[in-house]
Structure 1
Amino acid sequence: MSANPNISTIEQHVIDFVTELRIKNQLTQADIAAIIGTGRSFVNKVEDKKERAKYNLNHIDKLADHFGLSPQAFLPIKANKFV
Structure 2
Amino acid sequence: MAVNVKSDIETYVIMRVKEMRESAGLSQSELALRLDVSNGFIGQAESSKSPTKYNLNHLNKLAVVFDCSLKDFMPEKPFSK
- Both proteins in one fold, TM over 0.5: yes
Where has structure 1 moved over 6 Å in runs of 4 or more? none
User: Which residue does the alignment assign to 2:20?
Assistant: 21
Q: Could you list the runs of 5+ residues in structure 1 that have no partner in the other structure? A: none
CA gap 1:4/1:63 in 2 versus in 1, 3 angstroms: farther
Question: Percent of pairs identical after alignment?
Answer: 36
Structure 1 position 44, deviation (Å): 1.0
- Give distance in 2, aligned partners of 1:55 and 1:40: 14
In 2 relative to 1, CA 4–12 (structure 1 residues): closer, same or farther, beyond 3 Å? farther
Q: Count residues in correspondence.
A: 80
2:57 equivalent in structure 1: 58
Please name the residue that 2:34 is paired with: 35
Unaligned runs of at least 5 residues, structure 2: none
Residue 11 of structure 2 is matched in structure 1 by 12
AA of the residue aligned to 2:59: I
SS at match of 1:12: helix
TM-score (norm: length of structure 2): 0.90
How much does 1:6 deviate?
2.1
Specify the alignment match of 1:77 in structure 2: 76
- Give distance in 2, aligned partners of 1:14 and 1:32: 15
State how far apart, in whole Å, the 1-side matches of 2:3 and 2:52 are.
10
